[in-house]
Amino acid sequence: MIEKNYKQFKEKVITETLANGLKVIMIPKRNYHKTFAVITTPFGSLDRQFQINDEAPITVPAGTAHFLEHKLFEKEHSDAFTRFGELGADANAFTNAFQTSYLFSTTQNLKLAVTHLLDFVQTPYFSDQTIAKEQGIIGQEIQMYDDDANWAVYMGLLQLLYPDSPLAEDIAGTKQSISKITPQLLYSIHRAFYQPNQLTLQLVGCFDPVEALSVIRANQESKQFENVAVTRFEAPITVSRKKEVIQSFDVSRPKIALGIRLEGTQLTGSEATKFILATDILADMLFGEQTDWYQNLYNKGIIDTEFTTSFDLLHGYQFVSFFSETTEYELLTKAISNQMASYEDVLSRQEETFEALRRATLGEGIQRLNSLESIALRGDDTLFGTNLFDKVMLLQELTYNDILESAKKIYQNATLKRFILKK
């Protein structure tokens, strides 16, 4: 067991990798009432081709990771969900671009629930019959997203920035793509990405780490696993040619998304986390509520509190985005372009502003540590191996120069693209 102390936060993180490769991360918090547990595989919607050992490469249709997530709950004679219910545990699962996670939180029967979590995730059952039924349910889920205007804007921007890429496809896929899923495909994915050395189990909350680990170890030692080598093939980053797309939709006010793609090599590890932190503060310095820029646009009614900016770094996809609801989108676009063009002037001699924002971001990070779910899921654990405590610690290392460097990387030679959803 490796124990890492974060004295400033009065927290410790215990890590252990079992003989079969399963990584266990435990964060005991004895003054809480519940325990949150989550098991994660780094297999998400962006994973569209892979190879096991030297077997033939396998192509994965859009939506498969999410489909498998749904299907893993269903067993031959039972439903994994029901068992969590009987134990009084609140269970769920989610799939995003780069991971699939299965989770529960409970104030009772922790040992049984952890054992059940491991058992159901590690014991797949896929049949033609259950797959056919799921195709119906997910078909409806996809439709539900299609009716959501905010989702349409988000997907519209991704399609504009990265046309026909896995990122621009719905995590749930399409009715057509999921119709290609077979039991054999799901078993292959499970064999590759659900073997113990691909999985991480996190426990955060009210439990005894020694006891919990012995339950997990006993469970794993009672099972046999095949160990296979996995190669991933990432889809090439596509070229974006269009500068603007307008889509018609019944919304009360136009919804706008603007985006900037970052090209070039992707960062990894704590460097990546640091870059994300720097770009967040940078966005605040240029476009935050406390800036003259924001107040000026707000006064003119060009933006309101719905205006947001964000930065995403997902494998090869790196982009800045802006979202707003406004009829004055021409003026907004112009204002963003102007601010981008004059970033050097805006940022010059702003050390004090940077310091204040860094402190505020630190304070926000500390506030986030209240939530067991955030501790487990809001760090960059899966992508970059930095947990939420590391992330808050890294903030304290950030310098004004880091901000200037990020600004150069993002805004020098940037191309702003625009997606509009309106009546």
Partner 1 sequence: MKKIQLKSGVNLVVLPTTQFKTLHIAVDFAAPLQTDSVSSRSLLSYLTAVSSKIYRNQQAVAQKTIDLYGAQYETDVMRFGQTHHVRYSMQLPAPVYLENTSYLLHDAFSFLREMIFNPLADGAQFDQETFEKERQSLVNELSSLMDDKRRYAVTKLRQLTYTTPEMRVLSSGVVADVAKLTASDVYDAYQDMINHDTMNIIVFGDIDEMQVLSELEYWPLKQREPRQLKPFYRQPVHTSVDELSEKQPDINQAILTLGYHLNLSPDDPRRFVALVFNTLFGGSPLSKLFTNVREKESLAYSIYSRWQNDTGFITVAAGLDKAKIAQTESMIAEQIADIQNGNFSEETLAAIKTSLINDYLSQQDSPASEIELVFSRLLTQRETPVAQWVAEVSAVTPVQVAELAQQLTLQSRFILLPKG
Binding positions for partner 1, rule: CB under 8 A: 8-9, 31-34, 79, 81-82, 85-91, 105-108, 133, 136-137, 140-141, 143-144, 146-149, 205, 249-253, 288-292, 294-295, 298-299, 301, 304-306, 325, 356-357, 359-364, 366-367, 369-372
Q: Is 69 a catalytic residue?
A: yes
Q: Which is nearer to partner 1, 118 or 285 (CB)?
A: 285
Q: Which is nearer to partner 1, 166 or 254 (CB)?
A: 254
Q: C-alpha dihedral over 264, 269, 275, 277, to 10 degrees?
A: 150
Burial class (CB in 10 A: 0-12, 13-18, 19+), 319: buried
Residue whose C-alpha is closest to residue 209's, from 24, 349, 350:
24
The nearest distance, CB 145 to partner 1, in angstroms, is 10
Q: Which is nearer to partner 1, 148 or 211 (CB)?
A: 148
The order of strands in the sheet holding 230-232 is 58-59, 49-52, 230-232
Q: Which is nearer to partner 1, 268 or 327 (CB)?
A: 327
3-state secondary structure at position 390? helix
Q: Residues 121, 54: contact at Cβ < 8 Å?
A: no
Q: Measured at the alpha carbon of residue 353, what is the angle toward residues 351 and 358, in degrees to the nearest 5? A: 95
Pick the catalytic residue from 3, 16, 69, 405: 69
The nearest distance, CB 113 to partner 1, in angstroms, is 10
**Gyration radius of the chain's alpha carbons:** 23
Q: C-alpha dihedral over 386, 392, 396, 398, to 10 degrees?
A: 60
Q: Which is nearer to partner 1, 148 or 344 (CB)?
A: 148
Mapping DSSP onto H, E and C, the string for 83-140 reads HHHHHCCEEEEEECCCCEEEEEEECCCHHHHHHHHHHHHHCCCCCHHHHHHHHHHHHH
The nearest distance, CB 249 to partner 1, in angstroms, is 5
Q: Which is nearer to partner 1, 241 or 423 (CB)?
A: 423
The nearest distance, CB 422 to partner 1, in angstroms, is 12
| Distance (Å, whole) CA 273 – CA 278 | 9
The nearest distance, CB 176 to partner 1, in angstroms, is 15
Q: Residues 23, 201: contact at Cβ < 8 Å?
A: yes
Mapping DSSP onto H, E and C, the string for 169-182 reads CCCCCCHHHHCCCC
The nearest distance, CB 138 to partner 1, in angstroms, is 9
Q: Which positions are annotated as active-site residues? A: 69
